[in-house]
Amino acid sequence: MDPTTISDLPTSVQFNFENGEFLPFVKLEQRFVSNLAPMFFDQQAVREIIDQTDRLVYDIRYYPFITSNSDMALGVTRIYPGKVGDEYHMTKGHFHEREDQPEIYFCVQGNGFLLMETMEGDFQAVLWTPGTITHIPPQYAHRVVNTGDHPLIFVASFHLSAGHVYEPIIERGFSQVIVQQNGGPIFQSNPRRN
């Protein structure tokens, strides 16, 4: 994240509950199917989407609250409804560089699941509806999946010093994926792990 001025004064941003945006923000990241291509197991569907029109899967707005002795940050993510093949839109997913760093997620709008998994294979899935707040313990990779027909919006609070590690997720994904079957979401073993 871009560095900002250190301020030891209280700082506020204004959050819009209807559209999931807040002001001011320091950085906006947009992730398209092409940015997430290795995350989805149906690579033919990925190529078809990218060839037709590379659609937006999610965006994230950030604001770092950096003081002379702390480094908290705010992130708000909007995952748009949709699927790649039968697999629902999702965030990239990550571990933290620092193994002592948790994160807090707050589902503001939409429906889906928070997936979490350790390197040792302890897999957890939390059903998400508006108002669900989840503490993600250190050493759990985490990813959010939108299984609804509307944007899924969530707020994240974390330390900037936690860092992000994406490589294990790119290489192997999570042990379970969520796909649409008979009109609704189901869990199935990740074909990339077989």
- Inform me whether the pLDDT recorded for 10 exceeds 80: yes
- pLDDT grade, residue 1 (50/70/90)? very low
Which domains, and CATH codes, for the chain? Answer: 14-193 (2.60.120.10)
CA 104 to chain centre: 12
Characterize the bridge pairing of strands 152-159 and 70-79. antiparallel
- pLDDT grade, residue 133 (50/70/90)? very high
**pLDDT per position as a tens digit, 152-167:** 999 999 999 999 999 9
**pLDDT per position as a tens digit, 136-146:** 999 999 999 99
